[in-house]
Amino acid sequence: MEIHEIIRIVLTIIIGTIGLAAFGIFFGLLYKGLDRKISAHMQGRIGPPIRQPFRDIGKLFTKENIVPENAVPWIFHLAPLIGLVASISILLYLPIGGFPPLASGYGDLILILYLLIIPSLALVIGGFASGSPYATVGAQREMATMIAYEFPLAIIIVTIAWKLSATTVGGTLIQNSFAISTITSTPVWSVVGPIGFIGLILLLLALIIVTPAELSKIPFDSPEAETEIGGGLLVEYSGRNLAMFYLMDSVKTIVMASIIVALFFPYNLSNLVGLDAGSYPAYTIDIIFYLIKVLIVLVLSVTIIRVAVARLKIDQIVYTYWVPLTLMALIGLICIMWDGQFGLPRIVEMLGLV
C-alpha cells in the first residue's frame, strides 16, 4: 500500500463520515416523524406534524442539562456521545441506496453486530451512571433485553453467512461470506431451494421481531416503561444529553432498517430500469427506492407492532426471545442447512417423479 493510497482512503472515510452523519440524523428524525404520524392515524388520532422530532431536538437543546447529584458526571456525559458516535459509525459499513458500503473492505457483519451493541451499552451505562433507582432498574432491564434478542440475531446473521459460504458461484466457493458486499451482490433468496426459502422467511420474521427490541419500542420497551418507572434509564437525562440519546435512537432506526434491507432486500431498481450503474439518474432512483424500502421495513417492524401489542414484562421478553423466537430461528437454520440435501430436486427425486 502506498502513502497516497492511505491518504485517499482516510479522506474518503472522513468525508463519508460527515455525509453519513448528516444523512443518518436527518432521515432518522424524518422516519421518526413518519412513524409517529402513521401510528397516530392507526389509532384514529391526527398526530404530530412530521417535522415534530426536529422541533423536539431544538426544544431539548434550549433546556437545562441537569446532572443529578448521585451521578458520576464524566460517564453520565460521555455515554450519550459514545452511543451516537457508534451508531453513526455503523452506517459506514452499510450500503445506502446504490452506493456500496464506504468501508466495505474493513469491516463485516460480525462487526456490525458488535457495533450495534455499543448504543445499547451506552444507554445501559448512562442509566447506571445516573445513580437513580429507576434508571438502574431500567438499565438492567435493557441489558437483559439485549442478551435476550442477541440469541436470535446471532442465529440469523451466522445462518446467512453460513449459507453463502457453502454456495458455489462460478465453480468456486464464495469467499468473505460475512462481508456486506458479498451479501448484497449475492442475494440470499437466489441461493436457496424451496425448504431454504421457508427457512429464510422464518429468519426474516425473527429479524423483524428483533428490531423493536433493538430500538426499545413497544412491546419490548420495558427498559424505558414510562408508565411504571418513569422513563427508566433515561429518567435523569435532560437537555442536550437527552437530545443526544434521541438522535442516537433515530440514527439507530436507519441502521436497523438498512441491515434488514441489506440482508434480505439488497435489490436495486437502476439495473431493472436499464440505467447505467454509476450514473447520476441511477444513484437517484436507487436512493429513492432504498428510502421506500426502509420505510416499508420500519412500518412493518416498528409501527404496526407497537400499535398492535401492549408492553411485555421483562421476564416475558427474555422468554419470548430465548424460547419461541430462538426456536423459530433455529428451525429456519435447520431448513437452510437441509436445503442442500433435501432441496426441490432431491424431493422430486425421492417422490419418484424423475
Partner 1 sequence: MISIYDFIETLTTDSGFWNPLIWGVAIVIAFLIVYIIRGFGNKGYKKETEQTKVFLSGNPEYKEEKMHVKASNLYWGFTESLKWVYKVLDKMHTGNVSDYVLWFVIIMGTLFIILGVI
Partner 2 sequence: MNLETIITHSPALIVAVPLLGAFLTPLVGKINDKLRNVFVILTVGLTTFFVFLLANDIFSSGNIRTYVFGGGTPITDGGFAIRILFEVDGLNAFMAIIASILALACVIYSWAFMKENTGLDKYYTLILLMVAGMFGMILTGDMFNFFVFLEITSISSCVLIAFWTNKGKAVDAGFKYIVISATGALFILFAIAILYSQYNALNMAFLANSIQYTFLDKIALVLLIAGLAMKAGIVPMHMWLPDAYGRAPSSVTLILVGATQVSLYGVLRMTFTLYGSQLTIPLKQIGDTSITMNGLLGITLIALALITILVGVLMALKQTDFKRLIAFAAVGEIGYIVLAIGAGLTAMGTSYGNMAFRGGIFHIINDALDVGLLFLVAGAIYYATKQTSLNQMGGLSRNMKYTTVFFLIGLLAVAGMPPMNGFASKLLIYQSTYQVNPIIAIVAILCSILLLAVFVKVFHSAFLGPKLPKFKDVKDVPKSMLLAMGIIACFIIFFGLFPEFVVNNLVKPAADAIINNTNYITTVIGGAVP
Contact set for partner 2, span 52-111 (CB under 8 A): 70, 72, 75, 108, 110-111
Give the CA distances from residue 322 to residues 73, 113, 145, in Å, rounded to whole numbers and listed in that order.
36, 18, 10
Q: Does 298 help bind partner 1 (rule: CB under 8 A)?
A: no
Among 85, 117, 304, 331, binds partner 2 (CB under 8 A): 117
Footprint on residues 148-167 left by partner 1 (CB under 8 A): 148, 161, 165
Report how many residues bind partner 2 under the rule CB under 8 A.
36
Tell me how far, at minimum, the Cβ of 151 lies from partner 2, in Å.
5
What's the CA gap between 89 and 18, in Å, rounded?
10
Question: Side chain identity at 113, as an amino acid letter?
Answer: L
| From candidates 29, 30, 96, 137, binder to partner 1 by CB under 8 A | 137
Among 209, 257, 275, 314, indicate the residue that binds partner 1 (CB under 8 A).
314
Distance between first and last Cα of the chain: 55
What b/e readout covers 77-93, taking b as 16+ CB neighbours within 10 angstroms?
A: bbbbebbbbbbbbbbbb
Burial class of residue 342, CB neighbours in 10 A (0-12, 13-18, 19+): middle
Residue 274, classed as helix, strand or coil, is coil
The CA–CA distances, whole Å, from 280 to 275, 276, 277, 283, 303 equal 9, 9, 9, 5, 33
Under rule CB under 8 A, residue 210 binds partner 1: no
106 binds, among partner 1, partner 2, none (CB under 5 to 8 A by kind): partner 1
From 115-123, 187-195, 233-241, 305-313, give the range in contact with partner 2 by CB under 8 A: 115-123
Q: Which does 261 bind (CB under 5 to 8 A by kind): partner 2, partner 1, none?
A: none
Give me the amino acid identity at 230. G
Q: How far is the CB of 336 from partner 2 (least distance, A)?
A: 9
Lookup result for grid cell 447520476: 280
CA distances from 277 to 180, 258, 272, 284 (A): 19, 20, 11, 11
Where in 220-279 is the site for partner 1 (CB under 8 A)?
222, 230, 235-236, 238-240, 243-244, 247
> Alpha-carbon distance 175 to 159, whole Å?
15
Kindly list the residues in this chain that would bind partner 2 in the complex (CB under 8 A): 70, 72, 75, 108, 110-111, 113-115, 117-118, 121, 124-125, 128-129, 131, 136, 139-140, 143-144, 146-147, 150-151, 154-155, 158-159, 161-162, 165, 178, 333, 337
